[in-house]
Structure 1
Amino acid sequence: MSWQNYVDSNLVGTGNFTQGAIVGIQGGVWAATPGFTVGNNEILTLANGFKNPDSVRTNAPMVAGNKYMVVKADDRSIYGKLGKGGFCAVKTNQAIVIGVYGEGIQPGNAATSIEKLADYLIENSY
Structure 2
Amino acid sequence: MSWQAYVDDHLVATGKVSKAAILGKQGGVWAASSGYNLSQSEQDAVVRTYFTQPDSIRASGIILNGFKFMCIQANPDEVIGRKGERGVFIFPTNQAILIAEYDAPTSAGEANIVAAKLADYLKSVNY
Shorter-normalised TM range: over 0.9
RMSD: 1.1
- Which has the larger displacement, 40-49 or 110-119? 40-49
Matched, 1:102 2:103: yes
State the 1:110 CA deviation. Answer: 0.8
Unaligned stretches of 5+ residues in structure 2: none
> Shift in Å at residue 40 of structure 1?
2.5
Q: CA deviation at 1:16?
A: 1.0
Helix, strand or coil at the partner of 1:88: strand
Contact preservation (8 Å) 1:46, 1:56: no
Q: Which runs of 4+ in 1 moved over 4 A?
A: none
Equivalence for 2:94: 93
1:19 partner letter: K
Q: Distance in 2 between matches of 1:122 and 1:96?
A: 11
Question: Aligned to 1:110, what secondary structure does the other structure show?
Answer: helix
Corresponding residue for residue 70 of structure 2: 69
Residue in 2 that maps onto 1:28: 28
Q: Give the % identical residues.
A: 40
Q: How does 1:1-126 map to 2 (within 5 A)?
A: 1-47=1-47, 48-126=49-127
Question: Alpha-carbon deviation of 1:50?
Answer: 0.7
Residue 32 of structure 1, CA deviation: 0.7
Structure 1 residue ranges without an equivalent (≥5): none
Q: How far apart are 1:41 and its partner, in Å?
A: 1.6
